[in-house]
Structure 1
C-alpha cells in the first residue's frame, strides 16, 4: 500500500498583524507595531501550497481561527456586546486586544503532534492538540484547533484525537515544532524524535537563562504515552539552552528532519553524539538507515540561522531518493547561508536542490516554511478517509485565492484592531470558508 507525507499548511487569517507578542522570537519582537498586509500574507502561503502541489507533493489546508477572540476577552472581564467588548479592551488593555487578534494559528507546526498509524499501538493516526501555554495569544487556540482537526480527520476507524495537555508550565507543549519522525518509508514503523527545552521536575537538565524553554520533557513523554508509542520507537533529546537564549524558540528553527535524514546545526542539541547514536540504533531496528547532515558553526552561525530561518525549511523526499529543501527568500539574502546552500547542493549529497519562496509577511512575524505546515503521514486508505474538502487541488486553490481577494484587507495596523467591523469581516469570511473546505460548524460564532 502506498503511503505519503501530506503537508497541511495553515491558511493565514484575516487579522494577520505584527503585535510583537512572542518573547524569545527575534523576528516577532523586532517587527512589532509595523503595519501588516493580511491579503499578501495569505496569498504568499497559498502560492507555496500550489507550488508544492504542482511538484507532485500531497498538500492540504488547515483553516485559521476566529479573531478577535471575543470569548477570551469576556473571560478576562470585558462585557457588553461584541463591539463594546472590543471597544473596552482597546481603551483599557490594548495588549490584551492585540493578543486576542493574533493570527498565530497560521503556524500549524504548533497545532498538534501527529503520530502515524505505523507507530501507534492501536494502528490509528493520533493527534494531540498543543496547549501552547507559554504565550497567552497562543494558549487560546487549542479548542478551535481540536474542532478543525476533528472535522478534517473525522473517521474514528483511522484517526484518534486527544485533548491538549493540562495548561500548566510543567506540561508546556508546542506541538510538531519540537517533533520529527524518521522512517524508511512513511507507511512503515519509524522513530519519533521529541526535542524538549527543559524538564519540569528534574533539575539535572540545564535551562536557558534569558528566554523561556517552551517544551518540557514531561509534555513530550505524555504525548508519547497518549499515542501508544513503543519505547524502542521514541528518542528524547534536549535542545541546547544556549541557542534558545539566542532566539531558537522551537527546535524547527535549528533542525529539520525527513525520512532517514536529520539536517541540523552543530549547536542545536546537548549530548549530540549520544542522541545521533540512539537514533541510528533505533531506526536500524526497523530497517532504516539514519543519516545526518550537520551544518558547522564556522559556515553558518546561530545568528545566521535565526535571521534566515535556514532550518525552518521543508525537507522533502523526491522520487529518485534525493531531497529538496524549501527555504524562505531570507536564506538567499544572507551571504553566508546562501554560500553554504550552494556548496551543499553541489556536493552530490542527500540534499540536491533548494527552492526559494517569498514568505516575507510570515517571516516578519517569526515563522518560515516549516512553521506554516503540519506533516501527517498517511497510507492511501487513510488519505481517502480525510475530508476531501481540505486537500489542495487546482480548483480549490482558485476558490481560496478568490476568497482571500474578496475578504482580506491589504493593510492592518494596531489601531485597526479596535474596529468592531474587523470581527464582522472575519466571521463572514470564515463562515464562507467552512463551506469551501466542507468543515461544518467549527467556530464559536457558528456553534453558540
Structure 2
C-alpha cells in the first residue's frame, strides 16, 4: 500500500501582527511593533502550499484560530460585551490584548506531535496537541487545535487524539517542532526522534542560562507513552544549551530530518556522536540506512543559521528518490548560507536541489517554512479517511485566495487590535472558512 508524508500548512490568521511576544525568538523580538500585512502573510503561505502541490506533493491546510480570544480575556477578569472586553483590555492591559490577538497558530509545527500508524501499538495515527505552556499567547491554542484536528482526522478507526499534557513547566511541550521521524518508507515502522531542551527532574542534564528551554524530556517521554511507541523505535536527544541561548528556541531552527536523512548544524546537539549512533542502530534494525549531513560551524555560524532559518526548511523526498530543500528568501540573502547551499547541491550528495520562497511576513515574526507545516504520514486508506475539504487542490487554492482578499486587512498595527470591528471581521471570515474546509463548528463563537 502506498504511503505519503502530507504537509498540512497553517493558514495565517486575520490578526497576524508583530507583537514581539516570543522571548528567545530573535526575529519575533527584533521586529516587535512593526506594521504587519495579514493579507500578504496569508497569500505567501498559500502560494507555498500551491507550489508544493504543483510539484506532486500531497498538501493540506490547517485553519487558524479565533482572535482576539475574548474568552481568554474574560478568564482574566474583563467583563461586559465582547466589545467592552476588548476595550477594557486595551485600556488596562494592552499586552494581554496583544497576546489574545496573536496569530501564532499559523506555525502548526507546534500544533501537535504526530505518530504514524506503522509506529503505534494500536495501528492508528496518534495526535497529541501541544500545551505550549512556555508562552501565554500560545498556551491558549490547544483547545481549538484539538477541535480542528478532530474535524480533520475524525475517523476513530484510523486516528487517535490525546489532550494536551498538563500545563505546567515540567511538561512543557512544543509539538512537532522538536520531533522528527526517520524511516525507509513512510508506511514502514520508523524511529521517532524527540529533542528536548532540559529535564524537569534530572539535574544531570544541563540547561540554558539566557533563554528558556521550551521542551522537556519528561514531556517527550509522556507523548511517546501516549502514542504506544516501542523503546526500540524512539531516540531522545538534547539540544545544545548554548544554541538555545543563541536564539534556537526549537530544534527545527537548527536541524531538519526526512526519510533516512538528518540535516543539522555541528553545534545543534549534546553528545552528538552517541545520539547519531543510536539513530543509526535503531533504524538499521528496521532495515533502514540512517544518514546525516552536518553543516560545519566554520562554513555557517549558529548566528547565520538563526538569521537565515537555514534549518527551518522543508526537506522533501521527490518521486525519483532525490531530496529537495525548501528554504526562505533569507537564505539567499545571506552570503555564507547561500554559498554553502550552492556547494551542497553541486556536490551530488543527498540534497540535490534548493527552492526559495518569499515568506517575509512569517519570517519577521520568527517562523519559516518548517514552522508553517505539520507533517502527517498516512497510508492510502488513512488518507482517504481524512476530511477531503482540507486537502489542497487548484480550486481550493483559488477559493482560499479569494477568501483572503475578501476578509483580510493589508495593514495591522498594535493600536488596531483595540478595534472591536476586528473581532467581527475575524469571526465572519472563520465562519465562512469552516464551510469552505467542511470543518463544522470548531470555534468558540460557533459553539457557545
TM-score, structure 2 normalization: 1.00
Alpha-carbon shift at residue 123 of structure 1 (Å):
0.1
Alpha-carbon shift at residue 341 of structure 1 (Å):
0.0
Alpha-carbon shift at residue 322 of structure 1 (Å):
1.1
Alpha-carbon shift at residue 436 of structure 1 (Å):
0.1
Give CA-to-partner distance per residue, 1:57-96, whole Å, 9 cap, x none: 0000000000000000000000000000000000000000
Which structure 1 segments of 5+ residues have no match? none
Give CA-to-partner distance per residue, 1:198-233, whole Å, 9 cap, x none: 000000000000000000000000000000000000
Alpha-carbon shift at residue 320 of structure 1 (Å):
1.6
Partner of 2:114: 114
Give CA-to-partner distance per residue, 1:340-395, whole Å, 9 cap, x none: 00000000000000000000000000000000000000000000000000000000
Q: Distance between the aligned counterparts of 2:42 and 2:139, measured in 1?
A: 22
Superposed structure 1 runs of 4+ greater than 3 Å apart: none
1:77-96 paired onto structure 2 within 5 Å: 77-96=77-96
Q: Distance between the aligned counterparts of 1:78 and 1:296, measured in 2?
A: 52
Q: Is 1:433 matched with 2:437?
A: no
1:8-27 paired onto structure 2 within 5 Å: 8-27=8-27
Q: Determine helix, strand or coil for the equivalent of 2:137.
A: helix
Alpha-carbon shift at residue 319 of structure 1 (Å):
1.6
Alpha-carbon shift at residue 192 of structure 1 (Å):
0.0
Q: Determine helix, strand or coil for the equivalent of 2:229.
A: coil
Q: Distance between the aligned counterparts of 2:342 and 2:322, measured in 1?
A: 16
- Aligned-residue CA RMSD in angstroms? 0.2
Q: Determine helix, strand or coil for the equivalent of 1:410.
A: coil
Q: Distance between the aligned counterparts of 2:395 and 2:36, measured in 1?
A: 28
Q: Distance between the aligned counterparts of 1:305 and 1:78, measured in 2?
A: 42
Give CA-to-partner distance per residue, 1:101-121, whole Å, 9 cap, x none: 000000000000000000000
Q: Distance between the aligned counterparts of 1:68 and 1:167, measured in 2?
A: 21
Q: Determine helix, strand or coil for the equivalent of 1:229.
A: coil
Give CA-to-partner distance per residue, 1:14-58, whole Å, 9 cap, x none: 000000000000000000000000000000000000000000000
Q: Distance between the aligned counterparts of 1:424 and 1:86, measured in 2?
A: 12
Give CA-to-partner distance per residue, 1:385-427, whole Å, 9 cap, x none: 0000000000000000000000000000000000000000000
Alpha-carbon shift at residue 321 of structure 1 (Å):
1.4
Partner of 2:49: 49
Alpha-carbon shift at residue 191 of structure 1 (Å):
0.0
Give CA-to-partner distance per residue, 1:280-321, whole Å, 9 cap, x none: 000000010000000000000000000000000000001221
Q: Determine helix, strand or coil for the equivalent of 2:402.
A: helix
Q: Determine helix, strand or coil for the equivalent of 1:123.
A: coil
Which structure 2 segments of 5+ residues have no match? none
Q: Determine helix, strand or coil for the equivalent of 1:228.
A: coil
Q: Determine helix, strand or coil for the equivalent of 1:212.
A: coil
Partner of 1:290: 290
Q: Distance between the aligned counterparts of 1:282 and 1:326, measured in 2?
A: 28
Alpha-carbon shift at residue 244 of structure 1 (Å):
0.0
